[in-house]
Amino acid sequence: MRKLITLVFLGAALAVPAATAAPMKGKPTGPKPCHGKAKVMVVLKGTLANDPATGETSFQLNVTSSNRWGRGYKKATQPLTVNVSDSTRYVKSGGASTLDALAQNDKVVVKSKMARCDLRDADPAAMPALSARQVVVQDLEAAETH
């Protein structure tokens, strides 16, 4: 009889943790997991801090405003280095342009795509490298005529 009572208590002791460990129903709490697949558009507006020449792979930008995903770059030390590649598109005066056509103090909009996870918890002092997909020069004369 003593063995039976001991086995019943032992079974009950094991059943209680198993019942409480069942997953809870409803919305999960806490931060969403970051799988690194979601890409977001980083948009930075500012002025060029240098005069890029043909063949350079980057330029300097003083950021004046940004979208939500570019806030860390705006808070980072200025000027910011923006990398460019052969696939970067340049737009000036409504048409296609090149890197060497950009001049110092030009007002530009820089667009780039990055993984949301890289930006979510990034420190403004150590932001990930920014590679431009498109650089648009904001032409003041064209804006005034519209």
Q: What is the pLDDT of residues 83-130, one digit of tens each?
A: 999 999 999 988 999 999 999 999 999 999 998 888 877 888 889 999
pTM of the model: 0.72
Distance CA 71, CA 63 (A): 10
Q: Answer yes or no: CATH 2.60.40.420 is held by domain 39-145.
A: no
pLDDT band for 34, please (50, 70, 90 cuts).
confident
Q: Do 108 and 64 touch, CB atoms closer than 8 A?
A: no
